[in-house]
A and B are shown apart, each in its own frame.
Chain A
Amino acid sequence: AQSVTQLGSHVSVSEGALVLLRCNYSSSVPPYLFWYVQYPNQGLQLLLKYTSAATLVKGINGFEAEFKKSETSFHLTKPSAHMSDAAEYFCAVSDLTYFGNEKLTFGTGTRLTIIP
């Protein structure tokens, strides 16, 4: 079964600084990788997804992620943090190992705090 690991349950960056949130997937190349964002007491919203069409994926709100097969990584970045980026971020992978079925497996999340 596919799995993802998010390094760092809490990340703090200064406003205007680079945001880097780390995600590593299990060794087999997944068909899809996702980053979702969650604001307090709300559901999850898709930031971006990797579908093998391009290794550098651009998403909403200025975020992007790069798929690196050699490192089994899909890290999320944003060049300049904004106060509104404070939220929890989840990396997810689609799992097609269940015959005929597909499900998403999520990482444990990274809470991003922006320092004014």
Chain B
Amino acid sequence: DGGITQSPKYLFRKEGQNVTLSCEQNLNHDAMYWYRQDPGQGLRLIYYSQIVNDFQKGDIAEGYSVSREKKESFPLTVTSAQKNPTAFYLCASSIPPSEGAEAFFGQGTRLTVV
């Protein structure tokens, strides 16, 4: 089955540590996204990538970094510079606007700082 796989589902981080969230898709989509979800704030865009080896900052990129070395992979690193990283993180990919721009989501990773 085609889809988006995020791992791990739950992640615990000590303060001062960097952690990397995995996102893999086998939908052959060019565009991929990372969103952060907090209660009452909806989804906020962290980073997005329209093509391999290229990505742009979203609305809340500070304290995060990404890479896009392969079409199917878009890992997100939460660095120690992110002051409040506890949240639910969602990865998505989308079909081109010419085909309807629909986004497909992974099941999410819940990150907790301990």
Cα–Cα distance between A43 and B35 once the two chains are bound (Å): 11
Cα–Cα distance between A104 and B103 once the two chains are bound (Å): 8
Interface centre among A9, A44, A51 (most CB of B within 10 A): A44
Measured CB to CB, the closest approach of chain B to A29, in angstroms, equals: 14
Interface bin, chain B: 20 to 34
Contact string, B47-71, partner A, CB cutoff 8 A, digits 1/0? 0101000001010000000000000
**Nearest A residue (CB) for B45:** A103
Do residues B108 and A94 form an inter-chain contact, with CB atoms below 8 A?
no
Contact string, B79-114, partner A, CB cutoff 8 A, digits 1/0? 000000000101010101100111111111010000
Do residues B102 and A102 form an inter-chain contact, with CB atoms below 8 A?
no
Do residues B40 and A108 form an inter-chain contact, with CB atoms below 8 A?
yes
Do residues B97 and A32 form an inter-chain contact, with CB atoms below 8 A?
yes
User: For the complex, is B2 an interface residue (Cβ under 8 Å from A)?
Assistant: no
**Nearest A residue (CB) for B10:** A41
Cα–Cα distance between A6 and B58 once the two chains are bound (Å): 21
Q: Taking A43-B106, A100-B50 as contacts, is the C-beta distance between A94 and B97 under 8 angstroms? A: yes
Measured CB to CB, the closest approach of chain B to A49, in angstroms, equals: 6
Do residues A103 and B102 form an inter-chain contact, with CB atoms below 8 A?
no
B101 CB contact (under 8 Å) in A36, A98, A102, A108: A102
Residues of A within 8 A of B (CB): 6, 9, 31-32, 34, 36, 41-46, 49, 51, 90, 92, 94, 96, 98, 100-109
Residues of B within 8 A of A (CB): 4, 6, 31, 33, 35, 40-43, 45, 48, 50, 56, 58, 88, 90, 92, 94, 96-97, 100-108, 110
